Structure 1
Amino acid sequence: MISLAHRSHPLWLAYLVHRLSGLGLALFLPVHFYMLAMVLTDPEGFDSFGLWTQNPLVKMAEFGLVFLLAAHFFGGLRLLALEMLPWSGRQKTLAAATVAGAFLVAATFLLRAI
């Protein structure tokens, strides 16, 4: 039988957040590139899209996007630390700080966007 005990470890959650944030960013990038191309090919369409972005739900989605970016960034720093630094029992604290830092960055963006 397969053991799932590793999934109760806090660093497994950090691993999962890093993988899911990377997936979310990968799904967002084609949309982002499409919008950048629209600036060149359909400026009027891009302007109408700009009005749609003032919707509060879009602002919350931007919060999510910035959170994904910050979580992926800080998760990458955590991975670099795991690979490059001698590691101790402080891993749980550093993983929690990664999530807190990502949330702080995203919340700051949201407060400035509203």
Structure 2
Amino acid sequence: MTLANTSPATPLISRHRGHPLWLAFMLHRLSGLGLALFLPAHFWLLSQALEAERMDVMLGWTANPFFTFAEFGLVFLLAVHFFGGLRLLALEFLPWSAGQKTLAAVSLAGAFLVAGAFLLNAL
């Protein structure tokens, strides 16, 4: 890449941020962050199982439709992180190909498929 092709209006550091593979990387990173933020709440809820009455109250919350869509979001984050990680492994261990954008799109489509199937099953 030559610096002669860059214009002053678009700095070199931010030009890559519109690229689909950078967006796939960012989605993978943000899904990991979302999962990391979910874990303390999940462990706190598991700690409520030590007392049956408190656990029954917590499980009563799951009848709320909000939690069904929150579960969809969690499964989507898990699927995006999983398929994005597979894409990254393919980048590391397979030869570079022109179809990397296709792999990123397939990983996102797979995540939507898994999360959508979970949501339809929950409804």
TM over 0.5: yes
Match runs of 1:39-78 below 5 Å: 39-40=49-50, 42-78=51-87
CA distance in 2, matches of 1:48, 1:68: 26
CA distance in 1, matches of 2:56, 2:97: 52
- Residue 21 of structure 1 is matched in structure 2 by 31
Structure 1 spans left out of the alignment, 5+ residues = none
Q: 1:98 aligns with which of 74, 83, 107?
A: 107
- Residue 8 of structure 1 is matched in structure 2 by 18
What TM-score, normalized by structure 1, do the two folds share? 0.95
Letter of the 1:45 counterpart: R
Superposition deviation, residue 32 in structure 1: 0.7
Superposition deviation, residue 3 in structure 1: 2.9
Superposition deviation, residue 65 in structure 1: 0.4
Q: How many residues align?
A: 113
Letter of the 2:76 counterpart: F
- Residue 87 of structure 1 is matched in structure 2 by 96
Structure 2 spans left out of the alignment, 5+ residues = 1-10
Larger radius of gyration: 2
Superposition deviation, residue 2 in structure 1: 5.2
CA-based RMSD of the aligned residues comes to 1.0
